[in-house]
Amino acid sequence: MVLASLLQSCVWLLVLPAHVFTYLGLWDSFYKKVFPYIMAKMAPAYNHKVCKQKQALFSNLRTFAGPSGQLTLLEIGTGTGTNFQFYPPGCQLTCTDPNPNFSKFLLKSLSENQHLKLERSVVASGEDLHQIPDGSMDVVVSTLVLCSVGSVQKVLAEVLRVLRRGGAFYFLEHVAADHSSWTYFWQKVFDPLWKCFGDGCSLSRETQKELEKTNFSELNLKHIYVTPHWIPSSPHIIGYAVK
C-alpha cells in the first residue's frame, strides 16, 4: 500500500486549502450551508439508481408496527428526505440531522409526501439522541449516514436504546471494498478528498463489522454494488437488524 499512501498524500495536498480553512474555523460553517444544496442536486440521481433496492428493503416496514398498528419511525441523518416516498402511509415520523441547514429541503420533501405524519424534527447527531426516549421507536432508518458519523459504535448503541424490543434498524450504506481489490486501493487514495467534500464521509469504513459486533438478535445483510461499478463508493451493504 506504499503507492496508495503516496497518492493519498498527493490528494491531501490538493485539499490543503480546505484544511487550512478548517484550522481557521472557516470551513465547517461555510460548507454546512453549501452541503444541503449539493445533496439536493445529487440525491435524486442516487435514489433513481437504488429505487428498486429501497422499495424491496422498506417493503416489510409495516411488520414492525407496534400493538396499536401505528408505525413509529426515526430516521437518523434525514438530510433532504429522499427516503420519505418509501415509507408507508400514516407512518409517525421523527427526523434527526446534525445540520440545521437541511430544514427547508426537509419541509419540501414533506409537502411532496403528505402520506406521512411528522411528529418532530430534531437537530442532533446520531451519537447523541437523548431527546428520543428509550424504547419509543418501532423502526430506525439510516441511509448513507454511518459513513460520516464520528463513531459508528455510539450511533448503534443509541439505535438499540431508542428501539423497542422486537423493533428493527434499517440501513443502506456504502462501505469498504475487499482489501485485495483495486476498488479498496482507490478508496484509500481518495479518502482525504472524499471526507473534505463529503462532510466527513469515509470511503473505507468497515460498517458491517460494527453491525456484527452490536447486540442485535437478528442481522439480515447483503452486499450490493451501485452503478457505475468503477467508482470508489460502489460497494454497499443493505438490510435490517432486529433488537
End-to-end CA distance of the chain: 39
Q: Are 127 and 158 in contact (CB under 8 A)?
A: yes
| Cβ contacts of 136 within 8 Å, gap of 6 or more | 72, 162, 164
- Look at the chain and report how many structural domains it folds into: 1
Q: Give the CATH number, domain containing residue 131.
A: 3.40.50.150
- Which H or E run includes 5? helix 2-14
Residue found by looking up cell 437488524 in the block: 241
Q: Are 187 and 176 in contact (CB under 8 A)?
A: yes
> Which pLDDT does position 194 carry in this prediction?
87
Q: Are 136 and 92 in contact (CB under 8 A)?
A: no
Dihedral, CA of residue 228, residue 233, residue 239 and residue 240, to nearest 10: -150
- Mean pLDDT for back-to-back runs of 10 residues, the chain (243 residues): 63 59 64 89 94 97 91 97 95 96 94 94 96 97 96 98 97 96 91 83 95 97 95 96 98
The model's pTM: 0.91
Question: Starting at the edge strand that comes first in sequence, how are the strands of the sheet with 218-225 ordered?
Answer: 117-123, 92-97, 72-76, 137-143, 163-174, 235-242, 218-225
Q: What is the pLDDT of residues 54-112, one digit of tens each?
A: 999 999 999 999 888 899 999 999 999 999 999 999 899 999 999 999 999 999 999 99
> Which pLDDT does position 189 carry in this prediction?
86
> Which pLDDT does position 213 carry in this prediction?
96
> Which pLDDT does position 15 carry in this prediction?
60
Domain boundaries, position 133: 1-242
> Which pLDDT does position 21 carry in this prediction?
55
